[in-house]
Amino acid sequence: MKITFIGAAHQVTGSRTLVEWNPGRFFLVDCGMEQGENDYEMTEMPVASSQIEYVFLTHAHIDHSGMLPVLVREGFHGKIYATAETTNLCAIMLADSAQIQETDAAYETKKNLRTGKGEVLPLYTTEDAANTMKLFIPCEYDQMIMVDEGLSIRFSDAGHLLGSSFIQFFLRENGSTRKLVCSGDVGNLDQPIIRNPSPLVDTDYLMIESTYGTRKHDQIRKPIPILVEVLRKTFNRGGTVLIPSFAVGRTQELLYFFREIKQNALLPEFQNFPVYVDSPLANEATAIFLQCSTKCLDDETLKVMKEGANPIWFDGLYTTVSSDESKALNTNTEPKVIIASGGMCEGGRIRHHLKHNLWNDKNTVMFAGYQAVGTLGRIIHDGAKRVKLFGEEIDVNAEICMLQGISGHADRDGLLSWITSTENKPEYVFVNHGDEDSCSGFANLVKEQFGITAMAPFSGSEFDLLKGEWIRITEPVFRKKEAKAVPVSSGKKDQTPYKELMKAVKDLNDYAESLKNVSNGELRKMTDKIRELINQD
C-alpha cells in the first residue's frame, strides 16, 4: 500500500497523487493542470494511464481536474468519482479548457506554417473532454461509498468551491486497514454562498494543501466596503471597473456582493450601475450555482432565498455572450463593471478588455484572486508600466488594486485549526499544494504545534502506508525556464537524426545553464550522469 506524490509537490498547481492500495492496483487523487511558472519538474507517472482504475476528484478547479482528458486519451477507462456539483462544473470547465487548447493550437499552427514549421496539436480536444465526462460517477457528501474490494471512500464538504470535497479513504490490504484523507483545497470560513468546511474526520494519514500555509488573511478588511469604495471612486471619474475573475466560484461570489450592495443601497448615487459578466463559462457556472442542491448553501444564502430574492441575480446584471457584444462594451463609456475571465489574465476575454481599458487612467483593474508568478495578472498587479497584448505595447495607466478580504483558501490558522477539528489527530501529515516556503513552513508548524510527523515531499517521493515509512525521498529537479509549453506534433519528420541529436545537445546545454542555483551535490550528480553518457573519465 503506497502513496506516490506526483503533482502540486512544492508548488500550487498540477495536483495529482497516485495510490497503490493493493499490489498492482492504482487510483489517482486529482489530475490537475499546472498553471503559471513552476520551479520544479513533475515526475512522470510510474504507471500507464490504462493501469489506473479510478480517479477521485476533490473539486472542479482546473489545477485539480484539468489533465483528466489527457489521462483518458492515454488509455484511462476507469471511473471518476466526484460530487454531483463537481461533476456538473467539470462538464463546463473541461469543455472550456479543451476549447482554449484547440484555439491556442490553431493559432500556433497558423504562425508555424508561415515559418515552415509543423502543426501544433492541442493538449486535448473537446471530444476528449466529452469522453472524460462519460466516466464520472456523481456522489453525495457524507455517504460511505464501497468502490472496490479493500477501497471505500467518503466525500465531505471542503467549503472551497461549490461541490468541493475532502476525501476520506479506507484502504485494506491483507486484512490491514489504513485511513487516508486528501484535503483537496480547504475553504476559508464565511465565504459567501457555500458552507464552511466540515470538520476533519478520523484518519491515520492526512495529505493537506498549504496555499496559505504560512500566511494569515487580513480578517479586518471586509470585501463589500472595499468594493463599494472602488466603485464609487471609479464611477466618479467616469471610468469602468474591470475585474479579471475566475469564472467559476469567484464570479458568483462577486455577483453575491453586487446583489448585497444594490439590495442594501450601499452606493445610492449609482444605484443602477450595470454589471456585465463577459464570460460564457461564468454564465454557465452561474446557472449551475442557481440549480445546486440546497445542501451546498450556507445559512445566509438560504435566508436570502427564503425572502424571495435570488442571491446572485439583480437588476442591472447583463450576461453578454457573443463576441460582438463583448467588443461593444469597450466603446460604451457609461460607468460600469465588467467581470471577464480569466482570473490571471492568461487567456479569455479579459485580455481584450485589458487592451482597451488599461491605458485609460479613469478606469480601475481590480484583481479578485491569487495571481500566480509569471502570469500577466501578476505582472500587472506587481506594477508593470507597460504590457504586451495581442502583439501591441499597452501603457498601464488604470488604477490597479486587489479586492482584499476574499479567499477560497483557509489561511495558516484556518488549516491548523482544521487539523484539530477531529478528536484523533492524524499520525502523519503530508503537505502539498503550496509554494516552497508555504509547504515546508506549514510542515514545520504542524510538527511544532502538534508533535505530528509532517513532511512536504518532492515529486516522485513514495511512502509505504502499511509500514508507515518512506520508500523513496526524492530530491527536487529544477525546471528549465522556458516559454509556455505548447506540445508540438512531430508532424512530418523533416529533421535528420543528426539534426535531432544536435538539438538535444543544445537543449542539454540550456538545461545545464539553468542549473546555476542548484546545490553542489546535485551538480556533481548531473556531471557524473553526463560523463557516464559520453563514457569519458
- Residue 356 as a binder of Zn ion (CB under 5 A): the answer is no
Residue with cell 463589500: 224
Site size toward Zn ion (CB under 5 A) is: 2
DSSP 369-437: S---TTSHHHHHHTT-SEEEETTEEEE--SEEEE-TT--SS--HHHHHHHHTTSSS--SEEEEESS-HH
How far apart (Å, rounded) are the C-alpha atoms in residues 187 and 161? 7
Give me the least distance between CB of 184 and Zn ion, in Å please. 7
Cα(4)–Cα(459) distance, integer angstroms: 8
In whole angstroms, the minimum distance from the beta carbon of 437 to Zn ion comes to: 20
Burial of residue 133, with CB atoms counted within 10 A of its CB: 0-12 exposed, 13-18 middle, 19 or more buried: middle
| Structure letter (DSSP) for residue 145 | E
What is the grid cell recorded at 73?
A: 486519451
In the complex, least distance from residue 294 CB atom to Zn ion, rounded to whole angstroms: 22
Residue closer to Zn ion by CB (options 157, 185) is 185
User: Residue 215 corresponds to which cell in the numbers above?
Assistant: 500566511
Residue 200 CA to residue 169 CA, distance in Å, equals 13
Stretch that binds Zn ion, among 180-188, 207-215, 468-476, 496-504 (CB under 5 A): 180-188
If binding is defined by CB under 5 A, does position 409 make contact with Zn ion? no
**Interaction pattern, residues 297-336, with Zn ion; x per rule: CB under 5 A:** ----------------------------------------
Cα-Cα end-to-end distance for the chain: 42
Q: Which of 185, 253, 260, 346 is close enough to bind Zn ion by CB under 5 A? A: 185
What is the smallest separation between the CB atom of 526 and Zn ion, expressed in angstroms?
35
User: What is the contact mask toward Zn ion in residues 38 to 77, using x (rule: CB under 5 A)?
Assistant: -----------------------x----------------
Q: How far is the CB of 86 from Zn ion (least distance, A)?
A: 11
Chain position carrying cell 501529515: 429
Q: Which of 412, 494, 319, 433 minimizes the C-alpha distance to 38?
A: 433
How far is C-alpha 363 from the chain's CA centre?
28
Q: In the bound complex, what is the minimum distance in angstroms from residue 211's beta carbon to Zn ion? A: 8
- By beta-carbon proximity to Zn ion, the closer residue of 162 and 446 is 162
Residue with the three cell numbers 451546498: 296
Q: How far is the CB of 366 from Zn ion (least distance, A)?
A: 21
253 binds Zn ion (CB under 5 A): no
Instruction: Kindly tell me which of 249 and 457 has the beta carbon lying closer to Zn ion.
Output: 249
Residue with the shortest CB distance to Zn ion: 61
Minimum distance from CB of 165 to Zn ion (Å)?
A: 11
Say how far apart CA 358 and CA 370 lie, in whole Å.
Answer: 20
Q: Which stretch binds Zn ion (CB under 5 A): 179-187, 252-260, 267-275, 494-502?
A: 179-187
Contact range with Zn ion by CB under 5 A, out of 29-37, 177-185, 186-194, 262-270: 177-185
Cell numbers that stand for 105 in this block: 493550437
| Residue 433 sits in the site that holds Zn ion (CB under 5 A) | no
Query: Which residues of the shown chain bind Zn ion in the complex (CB under 5 A)?
Result: 61, 185
